[in-house]
Amino acid sequence: MNSDVIITCAVTGDDTKVTKSPHCPITPEQIAASAVEAARAGAAIVHIHVRDPETGAFSMATRHYREVVKRIRESQVDVLVNLTCGMGGYICVGDHGLEDTPAPGSDFVSQEERMRHVIELCHEGLYRPDIATLDC
């Protein structure tokens, strides 16, 4: 039996809000520092969601992802960087089926929009992720 283990750490969690925990990293600097800390503690993969540094709200801004990946790479830790493409995949079904779906509360956008930050970073070449996750 194989006893090897691969640890993935989602350093901001998925739904973690600043109001839930004062320990949730918000800025790109804090997120990268948490990712580096996780790698040094044994994580093989760090799964990255970014936030708006001013509000703590979820963000898909390429500039925030770029800064996080840059800081992780500059630390020279041995870790795979996994950027999320998960935001924009939530759909609420309305009371009348397709007639009013997506319903209020949906966060539903195209695959291209969900992956824009990864595509841009890959085209730039310098701070491309090792892997990306498109789920939800």
What's the half-sphere exposure (Cβ side, CA atoms, 13 Å) at 104? 0
How confident is the model at residue 45, as a pLDDT?
A: 98
Count of C-beta atoms within a 10 Å radius of residue 86 = 19
Distance CA 55, CA 101 (A): 29
How confident is the model at residue 105, as a pLDDT?
A: 77
How confident is the model at residue 76, as a pLDDT?
A: 97
- For the domain spanning 8-133, the CATH number is 3.20.20.70
| pLDDT, one tens digit for every residue, the chain (136 residues) | 788 999 999 998 766 566 677 788 999 999 999 999 999 999 999 999 999 999 888 899 999 999 999 999 999 999 999 999 877 667 778 888 777 777 787 777 778 888 999 999 999 999 999 999 877 6
How confident is the model at residue 72, as a pLDDT?
A: 98
How confident is the model at residue 93, as a pLDDT?
A: 83
How confident is the model at residue 58, as a pLDDT?
A: 86
Q: Where are the domains of the chain?
A: 8-133
Distance CA 114, CA 135 (A): 10
Length of the chain measured in residues: 136
How confident is the model at residue 99, as a pLDDT?
A: 77
